Amino acid sequence: MAYGETPSQTVGPYFAYGLTAGQYGYDFSDIVNPTVAGPDADGQHIRITGTVFDGEGNRVNDAMIEIWQADSNGVYSENPVDVADSGFRGLGRCGTGTDADNRFWFETIKPGVVEDAKAPFVNVIVFMRGMLVHAFTRFYFDDEAALNAKDDVLQSVPADRRDTLIAKRVETSTGIEYRIDIHMQGNAETVFFDV
């Protein structure tokens, strides 16, 4: 290799006025926010929510979650991400410091199945103070059991840990919500991937 990689460093506790300004009420524009798909996007509109827990089971109130997903046809967008776009954007970012229960949330659509996978999923990156290197994971959907059973990546995860990657469908008064928590450590530790 001609050049060595630049080391990762922690996002720290004070990212909000730089990376998630709109969500936290700082006077700075956003290039990405918790809306992955606007109201005009094709597909089934859903919300994904969850809480991040540390090794003692405490809610993490200064994490930042990013998701990247395919559209309803299973295609990753090649259009620039634009927070003014009322259609599909593909990328979302949410901090856990503004919800009363320190949840993250994303307004999105259920992705289609991408060409080299067998089940729909959302790609996830977890950042926080106390992580020197961010962690990659995925969210799958619990109402896709038949497809999940065929997905190579999901099936490569030990069976007793697979549930940590599967979001649970809940019908709420404001639409369909998939809930999934991220556990950094412990018995329910989320499976993270080296991608």
**Nearest approach, Cβ of residue 18 and another protein (Å):** 3
The answer to whether the CB of 137 falls within 8 A of the CB of 182 is yes
Specify the residue, 103 or 176, whose C-beta has the smaller distance to another protein: 103
Non-local (6+) Cβ contacts of 119 within 8 A are 113, 140, 141, 144, 147, 148, 150, 151, 154
Q: Which is nearer to another protein, 58 or 172 (CB)?
A: 58
Could you tell me the smallest distance in angstroms from the CB atom of residue 158 to another protein?
A: 9
Complex with another protein: residue 156 or 172, whichever CB lies closer: 156
Tell me, rounded to whole angstroms, the distance of Cα 114 from its chain centroid.
17
Helix, strand, or coil (residue 23): helix
153 or 176, CB closer to another protein? Answer: 153
Nearest residue (CB) to another protein, 12 versus 175: 12
Q: How far is the CB of 51 from another protein (least distance, A)?
A: 14
Whole-number minimum distance, CB 19 to another protein, in Å?
Answer: 6
Q: What is the pairing mode between strands 166-172 and 135-141?
A: parallel
| C-alpha separations of 155 from 117, 120, 187 in Å | 11, 14, 19
In the complex, what is the shortest distance from the CB of residue 121 to another protein, in angstroms, rounded to a whole number? 8
Q: Rounded to an integer, what distance in angstroms lies between the CA atom of residue 156 and that of residue 138?
A: 13
